[in-house]
Amino acid sequence: MNNKEKYDNIYIETFGVEAEVLESLEYNSIPQWDSVGHMGLMAALEETFGIMMDMEEIINFNSHQKGLEIIEKHNVNFEE
């Protein structure tokens, strides 16, 4: 499984959504992605990719797409 698949699967498992909605997924766009869901997502991403996001990154992490940009800054390659 490549990094993009791992990233997508975290959303699918954390929020119980289908892969087809991931590209348009944003914070608070579904009931599961509230403040509690957000922290669960952050913890799962940090654990899976072995990274530690700072508070600014966690606050700015407001969509599936923005998350890719933030995680790439931690030298995680999604171009596999």
Kindly report the pTM of this predicted structure. Answer: 0.93
36 inside domain: yes
Q: Does residue 78 lie in a domain region?
A: no
In the chain, the number of structural domains is 1
CATH code at position 68: 1.10.1200.10
Within a domain: 29:
yes
Q: Is residue 77 part of a domain?
A: no
Residue pair 25/33 in contact by the 8 Å Cβ criterion: yes
Containing domain of residue 22, as a range? 3-72
Q: What are 1-56's pLDDT values in tens digits?
A: 999 999 999 999 999 999 999 999 999 999 999 999 999 999 999 999 999 999 99
Which 3 state secondary structure label does DSSP give 63?
A: strand
Residue 31 lies in a domain: yes
Q: What are phi and psi of 63, to 5 degrees?
A: -160, 165
Q: Is residue 40 assigned to a domain? A: yes
Is pLDDT above 70 for 78? yes
